[in-house]
Amino acid sequence: MMPAWLAALNPGWLMILVGIAALFIPYRQVRQVLTVGTPIVAIALLVMAPHEVDLLTAEALDITFSFYRVDSLNFIFGLAFLIASLLNAIYALHTNNPRQDGMALAYAGAAVSASFAGDLMTLFIFWEITAITSVFLVLQAGTRAAYFASMRYLVIQILSGVILLDGLSYVWRYNGTLSLEAFQSFSDPGAIYIFIALGIKAAFPFMHNWLQDSYPKASVVGAVVLSAFTTKLAVYGFARLFPGFDALIWIGAIMTVFPVFFAVIENDLRRVLAYSLNNQVGFMICAIGVGTAGVGNALALNGASAHAFAHIIYKALLFMSMGAVLYRTGTTKASELGGLYRSMPWTTLFCIIGGLSISAFPLFSGFVAKSLTMSAVAYEGVSDAGMVVVWLMLLFASAGVLEHSGIKIPYFAFFGHDSGKRVKEAPFNMLLAMGMAAFLCIAVGLPAIIPGFGYQWLYSLLPYPVEASSYQPFTLEHILTQMQLLVLATFAFILLKRFALYPAEKPGTILDTDWFYRKAGYGFVQWSGTVWGKMGPAMSAMFSRLSERAYKRLESAFSPRGEIARGGLSGGASIWTAVILAAVLLMSFLSS
């Protein structure tokens, strides 16, 4: 048995503390040991932690904080976060940057701590810490664009936190508790606030721009770290608080579909990955919305969790491979890349494995995870015609994923027209991290051919392991559906490419909905500024005259030389005493 204090040590807190300490450690070797070692220790702590127990609580201001509570739902999210953190640390070994090392570790730690929060207040606190720590990762790229992107990112993340705080205040006011109970309906105003706060972090449609804005501008390592935590933390929040909300089905379905169009025409490959991140989160959100009770619910929550787990790893793998390309060639623009398979064979291989996983090819991790979601939607579809539409949308989106992540990324970066770039293979630590991620993608996706491997291991970690163990992903029907889809989509890509109909890799800027607030809004501000510049002097002169007069009035009344302080010695004071005495007497006599 572990000693009690060790059992109560939240692995996330450990990572935050070590991360902050790492900021001040000038020795690179020490930091390397810490950044790689801490996630391993944290995983060990988590695996040994008992479930369904409040391991660390505190009371302050009438609120009981539950800092560390593990159960079957947050276990898998926390484990995925920790694995991602380990991969990131290995991936970052070639750099020598205390701020990046420390903040990456602290950010991961905050996400882990937030997922193990046992009450809304704790969730809020670590929610804000993820925002604050992650912004440094965007800032780390050091470019002017990254600076402005990081400020926009920070504003939106903090906004999400503030809305969450509003929501939890409502919950506190109306329910008198801050426990992490699932909401029943939107009739509770707190539920709406919290829904919006989570929605911002999960990058719901029209709230998604911060993601495409900031992630591609982050540094090589920064993008990999960022891709893992924030959105999946929001997914966890939805799974915890809003399971079975119908609104989520449609929001999720739309989320899966609309980024496809942007991703297909986008030129910056890391931005493509950002859009595909959006689309993947859509699958999870949709899964959480499906199913209200019973088998469907278990299937759907299992699907969301499994998808999140698999997704964190293959998305990290894809971002890593693009990061390696960026590191060696200095660009991720499709128009400037191509033909890199000659010089970066290993990176190419790992990128293709990541692409196959995200496209859910059978035998890769995406397949076993996505099958759960699709089955859950189909299960609901039996009784609800609307769900058939959703199912079709998800199917379309799956084809889209293959198109832009499974084919476009590897094709344009490593094959396609030869850019003539001849660079070195990625550094060994990058290859090692990618290799480990690729290994996990395959290990989780295989059927149980080799004992200890295969999808059963993943399924045994899910929130409803019993239901999961009876689920069969490798049925003829699943494989056939998926292969038809994949083959046809690949075929379509080849056809379009052949007849030069596929959007060519062109530099350019794609207008997303953030145009409205970044350009139209900025224009409005500029226009108002001009107007203000014209009217301003007149108005400010008026205001300053007014405020000067008010100030003079106040000063003449209250300053040491002013009216009230004048004659302040015993004479005046005694008269006041008499006045007050008279007033009290008068009051007493009148009232009796």
Q: Which residues bind other proteins (CB under 8 A)?
A: 60-61, 554-555, 557-560, 562, 564-565, 568-570, 572-574, 576-577, 580-581, 583-585, 587-592
Q: Dihedral, CA atoms, 155, 158, 159, 160, nearest 10 degrees?
A: 130
CA 345 to mean position of chain CA atoms: 31
Structure tokens at 296: 């469907």
CA–CA dist 300, 298 (Å, integer): 5
CA–CA dist 161, 530 (Å, integer): 33
What letter would DSSP give residue 260? H
**Residue of 386, 403, 396, 369 lying closest to 478 (CA atoms):** 369
Q: Which is nearer to other proteins, 428 or 576 (CB)?
A: 576
Q: How many CA atoms lie within 13 A of 552 on its CB side?
A: 5
Least distance to other proteins from the beta carbon of 121, Å? 14
Kindly provide the b/e burial profile for residues 15-48, where b requires at least 16 CB atoms within 10 angstroms of the residue's own CB: bbebbebbbebeeeeebbebbbebbebbbebbee
Q: Which is nearer to other proteins, 179 or 577 (CB)?
A: 577
Please say whether the beta carbons of 463 and 369 come within 8 A: no
Q: Which is nearer to other proteins, 439 or 558 (CB)?
A: 558
Least distance to other proteins from the beta carbon of 561, Å? 9
Least distance to other proteins from the beta carbon of 585, Å? 5
Q: Which is nearer to other proteins, 513 or 574 (CB)?
A: 574
**Residue of 332, 305, 307, 304 lying closest to 216 (CA atoms):** 332
CA–CA dist 543, 321 (Å, integer): 59
Largest pairwise CA distance in the chain: 104
Neighbouring C-beta atoms of residue 70, cutoff 10 Å: 22
Please say whether the beta carbons of 463 and 76 come within 8 A: yes
Q: Which is nearer to other proteins, 525 or 557 (CB)?
A: 557
Least distance to other proteins from the beta carbon of 587, Å? 5
Least distance to other proteins from the beta carbon of 575, Å? 10
CA–CA dist 387, 379 (Å, integer): 9
Q: Which is nearer to other proteins, 1 or 569 (CB)?
A: 569
Least distance to other proteins from the beta carbon of 425, Å? 53
Q: Which is nearer to other proteins, 418 or 555 (CB)?
A: 555
Q: Which is nearer to other proteins, 513 or 577 (CB)?
A: 577
Kindly provide the b/e burial profile for residues 174-208, where b requires at least 16 CB atoms within 10 angstroms of the residue's own CB: eeeebebeebeeeebebbbbbbbbbbbbbbbbebb
Q: Which is nearer to other proteins, 501 or 580 (CB)?
A: 580
What letter would DSSP give residue 60? E
Least distance to other proteins from the beta carbon of 56, Å? 17
For residue 65, the surrounding DSSP H or E stretch is: strand 63-69
Least distance to other proteins from the beta carbon of 387, Å? 47
Q: Which is nearer to other proteins, 174 or 551 (CB)?
A: 551
At 56, give phi and psi (nearest 5°).
-150, 115
Least distance to other proteins from the beta carbon of 57, Å? 15
Q: Which is nearer to other proteins, 448 or 580 (CB)?
A: 580
Q: Which is nearer to other proteins, 470 or 591 (CB)?
A: 591
Neighbouring C-beta atoms of residue 61, cutoff 10 Å: 6
For residue 56, the surrounding DSSP H or E stretch is: strand 54-60
Q: Is 57 helix (H, G, I), strand (E, B) or coil?
A: strand
Please say whether the beta carbons of 28 and 121 come within 8 A: no
For residue 166, the surrounding DSSP H or E stretch is: helix 144-175
Least distance to other proteins from the beta carbon of 330, Å? 43
Q: Which is nearer to other proteins, 174 or 522 (CB)?
A: 174
Least distance to other proteins from the beta carbon of 175, Å? 20
Structure tokens at 298: 């278990």
Q: Is 338 helix (H, G, I), strand (E, B) or coil?
A: coil
